[in-house]
Structure formats: C-alpha cells, structure tokens
Amino acid sequence: MRTPTILAGVVAAVAFASTPAPADEDIPAWAYNRDDRTPKERADHLTRLGVLGWHTAGVRGEGVTIAVIDSGWRGYKDHLGKSLPSGLVAKSCRADGDMEYKDSQPGILCGEVAHAIAPGAKMLVANWDADRPESFLDTVRWAKAQGATIVTCSVVKPSWSDGEGGGPVHKKLAEIIGDGSKPGDILFFSCAGNTAQRHWAGTFEPGPDGYHKWSNKGVINGVSPWGTERVYLEMCWTDPEAKYVIEVIDPATGMPAPDVTYKERVDPKSVSARFTPAGYPQQYALRVKQTAGRPGRFHMNSLYAYLDECTLSGSIPFPGDGPAVVTVGAIGPDGTRTSYSACGPNSCRPKPDVVAPVPFGTYIRYWPFSGTSCATPQAASVAALCWSRYPHWTANQVRQYVTTRALDLGPAGHDCETGYGAVHLPQLAPAPRLIIR
C-alpha cells in the first residue's frame, strides 16, 4: 500500500508494509466501543506500521517485557484479559500505594496500544508520586528489576530538567537505563509531548521594568486555560547561578491573580505556578523577572492552557529531552506532524527520534486515542517485536533498528519535527545466524 504524504508543499510517496489488512473481524464481546468500523481501522493501522506481517510470521512479542508507566489507571482491573493482558503485573510507587488515585485512563489506553501491537509480550504497569522525581526513578528501577527491557512513558514533567536534556534526574535515569551496550540495559520510550503550542524558549531579555520581553509585543504572555482543569506553568533553565520568578496576573488590571501557588525547585533549577481557573472562559497573563545571575536561556511550558507567545523549536520537555531516551512525536493520517507534537532540538542527540501515526482505535471508549501519548507505546511495542525476533541484540541495536527502518518524512535524514521518520517494520527477513567460532 502506498500513501501520499504532503510535506512543505511536496507530495512524497511513502511505501508501507505490503501485507494486506485482514477482512473485517468481529468486535470483541467485551468491547465498550461497538463501532463496527474499529476492527478494520485498527487492522489498517497495524498494516501501516508493518506489524501484521510480523504477527503472521509468528513474531508477537514473546520473551519481551514492556513496562507502561503512567498516572491514569482508574478501573484498569476491568480490562484485564481484554484490552490489557490477563497476566499483567501492577505496582504503585506512590507513598500511598494507590494505583487508581487519579480518575483518568491514559495508562490503560497506552497499555491497550502496546498489547495490540505486541500481544505476546509480558506487561508491567506502574505509577508514581507526581511531584517526586525519586518516586518516578523508583518506578523505572522496579520495572528493570522485574525484567522489563522496554519502558514506555507518556507523561511529561517540564520542571524536572533544564529543557536541554540535562540535570540530576536525567543523570540518574540514564544510570538506571544503562548505556545500551550491555545485557539488561533497557530502552526507555517517552512522548515528545503535546506542548508545541504551549512552550517558549529563548534567552532572557529584560525590558525597561526588568520583566522579560517575549517579543516586540512586550512583557506579557497571555495564558488561555482549556477549561476549569488546574493549570501548571513551569519554567526551567541551564545556568545554576541564575534565578527567576514568575508572576501570574489578571491581564485586565495587571494585579496578581488570586489563589496561585508558586513553587521553586533547587535541583534542577525551576520555578512553577499552579492555579485552578475561576471559570471558563477566563484569561490570565504571565510575566518573568530575573533576580540573580546573568541572562541566559530558559524554557517555559504550560500544561492545560495555551500561551499567546510560543516557540516551536526545543519544545520537548522531560523526559523526552534526554539523550538516553527514545523520543516519539505524532503524525496525522496524511503523514505530517500534528500541530501539537513538540519538536527538537533539545539535547546533544537529535530529537525527536521517531514519530508514529495517530489516532489509534480503542475498544474502551467511543472516541479514538490520540496525541504523542498514543504514538509512544506504538514505537515501544514495535521495538518489542524487534527484540522478540532478535533476542540476542543489545538495546542499542534495537534502537538503531527502529530509527534506521523508520520511513523518512521530511528532508533526507533527521529533522526536528519528525525525527528519523515514521516508525515502521519492514517485511520480515530471516534472522541473522550466529556464527560460533
């Protein structure tokens, strides 16, 4: 099958797997989503990834353990033996040990995607305390100790790094993952983040009143909440000697907005502001001032709200900005980057690594699963199939296979919007024979 891909006004023919999608299958009896188009749409999606040919050849992820770490697992037990494997092992690394503390299901959706692509793989699922980096690291340590060779994470934490792939949390994560050359080293897949329109990066430029000038429009950056969900504004930077403060104000009066909680983190350096909008629509504004050090580069990220002033370049937050991590962006059905999918560069390694198509049909709700959160478990489980086929390979070899077999979508080679291209498995060839001397 050949699908036209439109990029910068150029139509490029992209060849996908030649294995045809199977005839329509019945909807599983347990499926909540009874849309009769879903089985065919899912089969077409797996064909686009090149997965069905590998399934037909008997490669379904056996011998590989995938860990899905996320925050939203409410009701996951209801999906065991259905959208999730029956032998799933769960662990909460939160202080309260509650796997279902948050009333959301993105973790279940990520697990459903991974299980659809690598149904033979063993699955671990886990969560952590949202404000404790060490709890997150404990989750990865647990997954590795349980035999996971692949971890997929679709949660972003912008203030846990310097925005450039550095900082102590990244250092510890890289130590847990390993350098990819030894048995037991793991592959950690992270979403690029849906932050392309909610991020600003650049050098602090003080105006006459000392506040940062976002552009020639001035020192005020408008903040537009999506609804009444709690908004997180998170700023990080690289210079350890620098210090900044952020202020959330009412744009109509210039006065401080009420009920805003501010937090400063020392290691890595970051500041954040959190507030629950008083109603919808409700407009806020943001301004930044430096209180110590020399002006330097910083990143501002907004969760659950848009920023009026934003920059696309370097918009991938933690953990996807880390060089040790395989970072996954999202493309639409036409093969172009989705408007929200964050872009590099963010570290010494080209970012993102790859992209994957969205949306993905789900049986657990009526609307499809989308975003870079959906793209990430696709790439991770494609890697699981590869590792299942070539179990003697190292993590570095699997990573190289995934990136070099990706279908290039932009200028030749890597680009900061779609990485090395769309994740894709070629027609299965015989595994290379080991030569024993």
CATH number at residue 391: 3.40.50.200
Instruction: Specify whether 180 is located in the same domain as 205.
Output: no
Closest to 427 in 3D by CA, of 44, 13, 19: 19
> How far is it, in rounded angstroms, from Cα 392 to Cα 120?
18
Residue 58 lies in a domain: yes
Beta strand extents in 171-239 (DSSP E only): 187-191, 199-203, 221-225, 231-237
Place of tokens 């692509």: 117
Structure confidence at residue 410 (pLDDT) = 82
130, two tokens: 């949202």
* pTM exceeding 0.85: yes
Asked if the model's pLDDT at residue 21 lies above 80, the reply is no
Structure confidence at residue 25 (pLDDT) = 66
Instruction: Specify whether 59 is located in the same domain as 156.
Output: yes
Instruction: Specify whether 48 is located in the same domain as 159.
Output: yes
Residue 414 lies in a domain: no
Instruction: Using the 3D structure, point to which of 307, 336, 358 is the last residue of a domain.
Output: 307
> How far is it, in rounded angstroms, from Cα 177 to Cα 396?
11
* Helix/strand/coil for 308: coil
Give yes or no for a contact between 67 and 125, defined as CB atoms under 8 angstroms apart: yes
Closest to 306 in 3D by CA, of 216, 391, 227, 190: 227
Above pLDDT 70, what percent of the chain? 92
422, two tokens: 């769309």
Instruction: Specify whether 86 is located in the same domain as 159.
Output: yes
The predicted-structure confidence for 170-189, as pLDDT tens digits, reads as follows: 999 999 999 999 999 999 99
Listing DSSP states for 234-257 in one string gives: EEEES-TT-EEEEEEE-TTT-PBP
Phi, psi of 29 (to 5 degrees): -60, -30
Asked if the model's pLDDT at residue 401 lies above 60, the reply is yes
For residues 125-164, one letter each, b for 16 or more C-beta atoms within 10 angstroms of the residue's C-beta and e for the rest, the string is bbbbbeeebebbbbbbebbbeeebbbbbbbbbbbbbbbbb
Residue 53 neighbours by CB under 8 Å, 6+ apart = 17, 18, 19, 425, 427, 428
> How far is it, in rounded angstroms, from Cα 84 to Cα 105?
12
84, two tokens: 């999730």
Residue 418 lies in a domain: no
Q: Which domain covers residue 225, as residue numbers?
A: 199-307
> How far is it, in rounded angstroms, from Cα 377 to Cα 116?
10
Instruction: Specify whether 208 is located in the same domain as 140.
Output: no
Domain count, the chain: 2
Asked if the model's pLDDT at residue 390 lies above 90, the reply is yes
> How far is it, in rounded angstroms, from Cα 6 to Cα 139?
40
Asked if the model's pLDDT at residue 52 lies above 60, the reply is yes
Our CA angle for 49, 104, 306, nearest 5°, is 80
Structure confidence at residue 246 (pLDDT) = 97
CATH code of residue 271: 2.60.120.380
Asked if the model's pLDDT at residue 24 lies above 50, the reply is no
Phi, psi of 418 (to 5 degrees): -120, 10
Asked if the model's pLDDT at residue 107 lies above 80, the reply is yes
Instruction: Specify whether 37 is located in the same domain as 146.
Output: yes
> How far is it, in rounded angstroms, from Cα 362 to Cα 356?
16
Instruction: Specify whether 185 is located in the same domain as 203.
Output: no
Instruction: Specify whether 36 is located in the same domain as 10.
Output: yes
Torsion of CA 433, 435, 436, 437, to 10 degrees: 170
The predicted-structure confidence for 318-358, as pLDDT tens digits, reads as follows: 999 999 999 999 999 999 999 999 999 998 999 999 999 99
Residue 432 lies in a domain: no
Query: Half-sphere exposure of residue 213, counting CA atoms within 13 Å on the CB side?
Result: 9
Residue 410 lies in a domain: no
Instruction: Specify whether 269 is located in the same domain as 232.
Output: yes
Give yes or no for a contact between 136 and 94, defined as CB atoms under 8 angstroms apart: no
Residue 273 lies in a domain: yes
Asked if the model's pLDDT at residue 16 lies above 60, the reply is no
Residue 420 lies in a domain: no
Residue 155 lies in a domain: yes
Above pLDDT 90, what percent of the chain? 87
Structure confidence at residue 320 (pLDDT) = 98
Place of tokens 């439109």: 6
